[in-house]
Each structure stands twice: as C-alpha cells, then as structure tokens.
Chains A and B, each alone.
Chain A
Amino acid sequence: MLRSSLRSARLLGGKPVAAAAGRQWSVAASQRAPMLAKRFYADQKTPPVLPTSETLSSERTPPPAQGPVDTTITSAEIPPTPPPPPPTSTSAAPKSSPPPKKKKGFFRRLRNFIFTLMVLGGAGFGAGVWYSRINDSFHDFFTEYIPFGEQAVLYLEELEFKKRFPQAPFGGARHPDAVEKVRIPAQSGASWRVADKTEPSERRTSASPAAKKATKPSESKPEEAAKPAEPEKKTVVAAKPVDKVSPEEPKTFKAAAPESKDKPASKPLRSIDLMSLPDAKEPIVRDLVHMLNDLILVINADGAHNKYSSTINKAKDEVLRIGGRLRDLKDDAEKKAAEDVRSTVAEFDSAANELVRRVEGSIAQQEVAWRQEFEEQMKTVRESYDERVKLLLEREQKLNEDKLQNQLLEQAIALKKDFLKEVESRVEQERESRIGKLNDLSAAVSQLEKLTLGWNEVVDTNLKTQQLHVAVEAVRASLEDGQHPRPFIRELVALKEIATDDAVVDAAVASITPSAYQRGIATSSQLIDRFRRVASEVRKASLLPDDAGVASHASSWVLSHVMFKKQGLAEGDDVESILTRTQTYLEEGDLDAATREMTGLQGWAKTLSKDWLSEARKVLEVQQALDVIAAEARLQSLRVE
C-alpha cells in the first residue's frame, strides 16, 4: 500500500502545483479536489492523513491493482480457493487478465475453474440439503438464504415420504389434512375450540366435494352415530376407494387441496356438531365420530354420496343415540354417585357424630379412670415420700445424735487433755520450785566452801608471812652477827622458798648483787675503819690538778700534811669538807647519806674512793632488800587480817 501511495504521490506530486498547494492549505482544501492535498501529504510528511484523503487513496489504489502484479497474484491464488466468494472476485479478474496472456491456457483454465466451481457448488448444495434434513436451524437458514434450497429440501422430503409409504401417494396428497385431523383429535380435550373456530370447519367443508353434504352431515351424523357396525364396513370400503383413487391421486391431490376445503365443509360440520356437544369427552364416541368422518370423507372422495347418505345418516343417528345413552348413563351414574356421596356423607356424619360421642364418652371415662389412677398414684407417691421423709428424719436424728455424742466425746477428751496439762504444769512448777531451793542450798554450800577455803588461805598466808618474818629476821641476824663478813646464801634460799610466789620478794632478792650474798657484806665498823684509810689517801691527792705530774703530786702530798682538818658538818664542795661530812654521817650511822656525799667527789679522789663506795652500796642494797621483804611480809599479814 505504501508503495502504491508513494508512486501515485510521485506521479501526481511531480507537478509544481504541489508545493503551492501545500502552502495554500485552505485554498487547496476548498477549491481543488482532495487528491492534490493527498498527494502533497503523501509526499511530505504524514502518511496517516484525514479520513477524506484515505477514501481518495482507496479510490486510487485500484488502478495499480489492475496492473500485472495483481494478475500474477490472482493466478496463484485461484487454485487453492474453491469457496464461492473468491470465484466472484476472480471471475472479474480473469476476464481482464486473460487477454494479455495466452488465450488457449486461459480458456482451459477458465473452463476448469468453472467446472470445479460447479462441481463444488453442486456438492455444497447437496451437502446443505442433506444437512438441512438433519439440523433444523440449518434447515431454516438454508431454505431462507439459498436460492432453490427450499424446493430442493421439500422435494427430497417428499421422495423420502414416498419411499416410506409407497401405498400412500394419495394419502400423501392429503397428508397435510390428515396430519391436521390427527392433530385436532389429539387436542380433543379442546374440541370446543375447533367448534368455535370457523376456519378448520371451513377447510373441511372446502375439502368435502359437495355443498349439499354440508347440510347432510348435521342431520345424517346422528344416524351414523347410531350405526356402530357401519363404520367398520366403511373402513373396509374406504380401503377400496384408496386403491381406486391412488392412480388419480397425484393429479387430484394438488387440485383437491382447494376442493377439499369446500367439500368436507358439509359433512364434517355435522360430525363436529356430534363431537362438540355432550359426547366429545367420551373417548368411544370420539373414536366413532372419527371413523364416521373418515368414512364420510372417503365417500365424499368417491363421490358416492347418494349411495351411503342414508346409511351414514343412520350411523350418525346411532352415534347420536349412543352419545345420548352414554350421556344418560353418565347422568345416572352421576346421580347415583351424588346420592351415594350424600348417603355416604350422611353416614359419615352420623358415624363421625357417633365417633365423637364415643370418643367423648371414652375420654370422660378415661379421665375419670385417670383421675382415680392419678389419685391412687398420688397417694402411693405421698406414702412413699412420707416414708422416705420419715426415714430421712430418723437418719438425720441418728446423725445428729451421733454428732452430739461425738462432740461430747471430743469435749471430754479436750477436758481431759486440759486437766492433764494443768496437772503436768503444776507438778513441773512445784518441781522447779523445789529444784530452785536445792540450787540455792547448793549455792550456799559452795559459798561456805569458798569461805572455808578463804580461811584456809588466810591461815596459810599467815603461816607464810610468819615464816617470812622469821626468814628476814634470820638474814638480818646473820648480817649483823660477828665481826667478819659472812656469806648468807642459806638464809636467802630459805627466804625465797618461803615466799614461793611472791613477786616482790623475788624482785628484792634479784636486786641483791650475787657477790654480796656469796662473800657477805662488810659491817658498819669495818666500813668506818676503811673509810678512815681512804680519807687519808684522798686528802693526799686532794690538791692535785687535772693533768698532774710528779711535782704536783709531791707538792700535794707535802701540803696535805700541812692543811687543817675540819670537824662536824662542814659546808663547801672541796674534798676536805666532803670527807669531814661523810665521816660525821658515818659516825651517826647514816650510811646512805655518807655514800651520797662520797659520790660527789671528782678526779683522783673519786678513783681512790671507788672500792669503798661499792662496798657501801652493797651493804645498802642488802639492807634495802631486806626492808622491802619485811614490808611485804608485814603487808601480807595486814592483808590477811
């Protein structure tokens, strides 16, 4: 399409007008044909143009389709497409295309094509006819849209019908009528309809040959009805006329169709009257009427109206009679039935009343009986319940008694327990009180024991102190005794043994230097004697300087003889005064003060008096220790007391 449009556009757009037209849009659109505008658009830009242009292009497209290109395509397309639509288009194409190509080949092809077309069309038509017989919807479609379809289908149906009913070519002619007849009786329940409608009657009247019989059947039908036997004969007769009529049938069939509408109108009217009124409901009568009608039709067809009219009338009368009889019978039956119904209803009513009475009575009796039973039952139930209540009451009483007894027992047990507890507690209290008294007694005894022990201790300590006193006295005696110093180890040992644990005595003994009690100490007289010697020596060295030589020593020795001796408690720190003071203290017996004075010496004097000082100290120590021990002994004796 694009190519074609482009080509066309080029061919037409080659003109110089195209550009002008493109510019003068409105002018071109209004004045010139849309073709130019189209060309322009095809040339320039927009292939999808206005709808008008498309229509124009479609108009243009055909010319190229007529070209050689299309013919080749069509030639290729022809063979594969048998269906009807392509042939129509191709038929147009080949007409134009063949002339330029070979004439012989084309004709052959055309012939073949047409032949195939015809064959296919015929086959399709046949298939359509055949399928229309199978499918109803296709049948409708086929008969409507395909020419000669309806006729062909109808013909086929007819042929088939003939095949099926070879003896009924005549009946086949009457077929529509027969079908209708059959239909009407099928709707026999609605026969009144048929009677009302004039059209069916008219048909039949028209179907009946003579107008005379139109009046007759109404009269004759009762007669025919009266004759039940005759229809059988007529059926037999009817079989004959069928054979006779059969040759004539095809011819008369089409013609008779209109005639039959006129002829049967006379007879069927009667028959319809018969059927319609009372006996139409009776199947027997209906059948009879049908048979009669058939006979009448046959007779009419034969045209032997005159012969059988009387008999038919009789038969009609008979039929009518039968109908009347049947009616009467029916009425009688209905009456009887009504009477029966009434009687039965009455019976039923009476029976029902009786039943109701009986039921009421029985109900009343039952009620009474039930009441009695109910009362009895109630009594029994009451009795049983009373018994149960009694039982329950007894049980509850028993239970209560048991409970009370249990409670009493529990209370008794509790009281016993309390009593036992009280007794136990009181016993324990008494026990505790007695035990407490015993404890007090034991405590008092123990205190007494302690007291005795303390007295024993006091006695012991007294003894010890006495022994101490004795020992101390022994030591003092040993010290003061005699002119020579004596060791007093024994006395000291005895003293220490006596005062075993006394810390003071131990310390006092320890304070004494061991040499004192091993060698003994000098007595006061010895000390004084030695002091005199020491004093003379000290006086010799009293004038010595610190760093004294031979000369100073000799001078001090010489001068000491010359110096005056002092007397009494002389004052001053010089050696002479100290010596005189110590001498006086010693003479007084105050050894302690004498030793203190002597310790104040310095230099050679000190060294010279060193031995005497140590002696004096020993004596002092011993004396002090003894004093301490004596004081201790005294203190212990005081403590005890």
Chain B
Amino acid sequence: MGYLRAVSPFLGAIVLAFVMQFGVAPMFGAYYQKLLIDIGINIVLAVSLNLVNGFAGQFSIGHAAFMAVGGYAAGAITYYGSFHVFGDALVHHGQGDVLFLAATLVGGCVAAVAGWVVGLPSLRLKGDYLAIVTLGFGEIVRVLLQLTDDVMFKRADIEAASVGTLALALGGALGFGGLPFYTSIVWTYFFAFTLLVIAVRLKTSGEGRAFLSVRENEIAASAMGIDTTRYKVRAFVLAAFFAGIAGSLFAHEIGTTLNPRELGFQKSFDIVIMVVLGGMGSISGAVLAAIVLTLLPEFLREAASYRMIIYALLLISMMILRPQGLFGVREVWELYRRPKVSRPQVRPPGSLP
C-alpha cells in the first residue's frame, strides 16, 4: 500500500505527459507545440529554482549555469554516443530515446554534483554574498564552455578520439550544434510533472517544513535541531539536478542552439523573475509565472520593437501592485481557504486580552 502510494504520482506523471502529447498538443499547430515544450522546460526551471529561492530562502542567480552543465553533459552523450551506436547523430526513436533518457539523467547528476560543489562552501554565506557567488559561478561556466574545442562531425574521427577529447569538443563560443532533437512534449512534461510531484510532497511534508523554517528564521530553525547548512545544500543539489534535466531538454529541442551565451546571466535572471513573479515558495505560482512569461513575449511579438518595454513595464507594475508575487507562499488551491479566526464570544477568566 505504502509502496503504491509512493509510486502512483509518478505513474500519474507519465500518464499526464502522454495526455499532453496526444490529447492537448494536436489541438495546436507546430509553432504552439514548440511553445508548449518551452513552457514545460520553463516550468522545470522555475519550480526547481523555487526550491532554493522560495523554499530554503537562499537567493541564487546562477540557475542557468546548472542548466548549461546538465545540457552540455547530456548533449555530449547523445551526440557522440549516437555516432558510436548508430554511426550518425540523427534521431533514432526507440533505442535513441533510451540513450536520450540516460543522457538526461546523467546530465542531471552532473549538474547536481556541480550544485553540491558550489553549494557546500557558499551556502555558509547569506543573502547578497550568496547571490554574488552564484553569479560568479554562472560566469565561470559560461567562459569555460566558450573555451572548449570545435564539435567533431566525422564518424572516423569520433570513433578514434578518446573520451577526454570528446568531453572537450563542445563547440566553444559557436555553440554545440547538430544535436539530435529528442525533446518531445512527452519527455518534457514527464519531467515537469515528476518535479511537481516532488515539490508538492516536499512542501507538505515535515522535511518541507524544515526547508521553510530555514527560510523563515535560520536561528530559530537551528534552535529546533535543524542542521540548516545541510538543508540548504540539499535544496541546492535537488534544484541543480532538475536544472540539469531542463538543460538537456533545452539542448535537444528543435529550434534552440545550445551555446554559452544563451545560458548566461540573462537566462538565470529570467528564471529568477518567474519565481519572484509567482511568489517565492509558491509552486503553482512558479508554474503560472512560467506559462505567462513564456507566452507574453510571444504575444507581444505584434508590438515588435516595443515588446521588451511593455514586458518590463508589466513586470514593474506587477512588483508595485503585488510585491509578494502572484500568490505569496500560498498555492492556487489555498486562495479561497480563508484563515480560520475563531474568537470566543466570552473570554474565559484568566485568559489574555
């Protein structure tokens, strides 16, 4: 029973992912189907960053760097792996999808290790200082990726090259072109829904409250017996893992280029904006913000050169009108649940005024 309860939400994630692909997507054209994938990836990014910035209250502005680490690791595996298995880097459904899944998970793990390495020393820092470290980390990743060698595209060369050589042949400043397009709506939403299940469970569990308490008041949290550093690192590692997954989805998506510029500071900041707009700590807020902020620039495309100004103005007015974000820490389904205030009509003697 307990086992079933633990697994069923993840089975639900698979079912929902297929519903998205075969139920929802056919209602739209190819352009909107790509937007649907963009939305899914942004949901993964926003909800995972929310684990760090919202749940644990640590302000990280280097999320795109973890995305880059995961994306490049996964991309290198599918690209060079495909040459070894199939002799080219085209999409081979079936076996190729398995390779893609494995690469994505490895990408997530590599990003998680990066998260741990960055998190362990820097999470002793607070507020602005942590933000600066994560920003610096993002820049380091970007610069290192720009220094990598050209992508190899001849089968003979690739088969002759060592793993070390291949790991450095990531395209440099030009980007890692030629990756097979495995990212589909099913894959994207499978990971998005899986992350959502984890995030919701985390928020409503005792463990999740430990995260929230670290954010609320670190001193009080440690006075409760919570090892605050460990929790912060844990949030960081989990968030980095899913950023890596999102990186892999991004890398294998049609119409995107995996290059260091795309995954720089600007991208990190876009994700931060989603979390802030949705409400720090609100999962459904992050989802909604990811949807809105993915669609908004597209719909404003009509306004052409003015669209970034309109976009910025909308964000500014949003922050003035609702500085706590759309939902604050609450969830969509909690909005209509008013806090129960039960004031007794007659005060019992000796009680407080």
Q: Are A and B associated in one complex?
A: no
A: residues with CB less than 8 A from B are: none
